[in-house]
Structure 1
Amino acid sequence: MKEFNAKKIIVKYLVNEATPQETEKLLRWVGSKKNEKIFKEFVQAHQLSNIAYNSSEVQTAFDDFLRQIRTSKSKSNFRIKRFVRYFKYAAVIVGVLLSTLYLLKKENHVSPFVEMTDQVTLQLINGDKQYFNIDTDKTIKTKTGHEVAIVENGVLTYVAEPTNRKNKPLQNILKVPYGKTFNVVLSDGSSILLNSGSLLKYPNVFIKNEPREVFLEGEAFFQVTTAPNSSFIVNSKNSITKVYGTEFNVSCYSEDDKTEIVLVEGSVGVKTNSSIKGQENYQMMIPSQKASLSSNSEDVEITTVNIQKYISWKEGILTFENEKFETIQKTLERHYNVKIINNFHDINSFRYNGTFKNDSIEKILNTIKTHTNFSFQRKDEIITINNPKNPQ
Structure 2
Amino acid sequence: MDNQKEKALLEKYKLGEATELERAMVEDWIAHGIFPEYEISDLDLEVQLSEMDKQLPLFEKQTKLWPRLAGAAAIFLVLGAGILYYIGKADNELPKNETYANDVTPGSVGATLTLANGKKIKLTDALNGELAKEEGVVITKSANGKLVYSAKDIVTEANRMNTLSTARGETYQLQLPDGSKVWLNAASSLTYSASLNKEGIRQVVLQGEAYFEIARDKKRPFIVETAKQKVEVLGTHFNVNSYSDEAFTATTLLEGSVRINTSADAVANKVIRPGEQAVLAANGLRISEVDIEEAVAWKNGKFIFQQETIGTVMRKIARWYDVEVVYEADLKDKTFSGSMSRFENVSQVLRKIEMTDLVHFKVEGRRIVVMK
TM-score with structure 2 length normalisation?
A: 0.65
Matched, 1:328 2:313: yes
Paired with 1:181 and 1:243, the residues of 2 have a C-alpha distance of 24
- Residue in 2 that maps onto 1:20: none
Deviation at 1:162, TM superposition (A): 4.3
Output the CA distance in 2 between the equivalents of 1:268 and 1:373: 38
- Identify which of 273, 280, 293 aligns with 2:280: 293
**CA distances 1:116-169 after superposition (whole Å, capped 9, x unpaired):** xx9511112322222220784242226x9987400112100012134355x313
1:234 alignment partner, SS class: strand
SS in 1 for 2:191: strand
- Partner of 1:385 in structure 2? 370
Aligned to 2:181: 191
Partner residue in 1 for 2:333: 349
1:253 aligns with 2:237: no
> Is residue 220 from structure 1 mapped to residue 210 from structure 2 by the alignment?
yes
* Paired amino acid for 1:334: R
Q: Which residue of 2 aligns with 1:229?
A: 219
Aligned to 2:347: 362
Equivalent pair of 2:213/2:237 in contact (CA under 8 Å):
yes
Matched, 1:181 2:171: yes
| CA–CA separation in structure 2 for the residues paired with 1:215 and 1:147 | 19
CA contact (8 A) 1:209 1:228 kept: no
What's the secondary structure of 1:364's corresponding residue?
helix
Identical aligned residues as a percent: 27
* Alignment-mate amino acid for residue 276 of structure 2: Q
Structure 1: which 5+ runs fail to align? 1-117, 388-392
C-alpha separation between the residues in 2 aligned to 1:256 and 1:378?
Answer: 24
Aligned twin of 2:18: none
Opposite residue 130 of structure 1, the aligned amino acid is I
Tell me how large the CA RMSD over aligned residues is.
2.4
Structure 2: give runs of 5+ residues left out of the alignment: 1-108
User: How far is 1:254 from its partner?
Assistant: 0.9
Provide the residue aligned with 2:128 in structure 1. 137
Contact 1:208-1:230 at 8 Å conserved across structures: no
How far residue 196 of structure 1 moved from its aligned partner, in angstroms, is 0.7
1:291 and 1:155 map into 2 onto residues whose CA distance is: 29
For 1:341, the aligned partner's letter is V
CA distance in 1, matches of 2:346, 2:243: 21
Contact 2:155 2:195 in 1 (8 A): no
Q: Tell me what 1:111 maps to.
A: none
Structure 2 residue 116 is matched with structure 1 residue 125: yes
Question: In the alignment, which residue of structure 2 is the partner of 1:309?
Answer: 294
Check the 8 A contact 1:136/1:154 in 2, yes or no: no
Contact 1:265 1:287 in 2 (8 A): yes
* Cα contact 1:183–1:192 (8 A) shared by 2: yes
Question: What letter is aligned with 2:254?
Answer: V
The alignment of Structure 1 onto Structure 2 pairs a total of residues equal to: 262
Q: Tell me if the contact between 1:209 and 1:230 (Cα under 8 Å) persists in the aligned partners.
A: no
Distance 2:219 2:137 in 1: 27
The SS at the match of 2:299 is helix
CA distance in 2, matches of 1:282, 1:211: 19
Q: Which residue of 2 aligns with 1:156?
A: 147
Q: Describe the shift of the 1:312–1:135 C-alpha distance in structure 2 as closer, same or farther (beyond 3 A).
A: farther
Distance 1:134 1:324, change over 3 A: farther
Task: Answer whether contact 2:220 2:234 (CA < 8 A) is retained.
Answer: no
Q: Distance in 1 between matches of 2:222 and 2:264?
A: 19
Q: What letter corresponds to residue 235 of structure 1 in structure 2? A: E
Deviation sequence 1:97-132 (CA, Å, 0-9, x none): xxxxxxxxxxxxxxxxxxxxx951111232222222
Name the SS for the 1:201 alignment partner: strand
For residues 30-84 of structure 1, the C-alpha deviation after alignment (integer angstroms, 9 at most, x for no partner) is: xxxxxxxxxxxxxxxxxxxxxxxxxxxxxxxxxxxxxxxxxxxxxxxxxxxxxxx
Which structure ranks higher in relative contact order (CA pairs < 8 Å, sequence separation ≥ 6)?
Answer: 2
Maintained 8 Å contact 2:137/2:177: no
Provide the C-alpha distance between the structure 1 equivalents of 2:145 and 2:260, rounded to a whole number of angstroms.
31
- CA–CA separation in structure 1 for the residues paired with 2:128 and 2:298: 24
Contact 2:136 2:153 in 1 (8 A): no
Larger strand fraction of residues: 2
Q: Does 1:318 align with 2:303?
A: yes
Amino acid at match of 1:365: L
Alpha-carbon distance change, 383 to 231 in structure 1, aligned in 2, over 3 angstroms: same
Which residue matches 1:243? 233
Contact 1:209–1:229 (8 Å) recurs in 2: no
Please report how far the alpha carbon of residue 170 of structure 1 lies from its aligned counterpart in structure 2 after TM superposition: 1.6
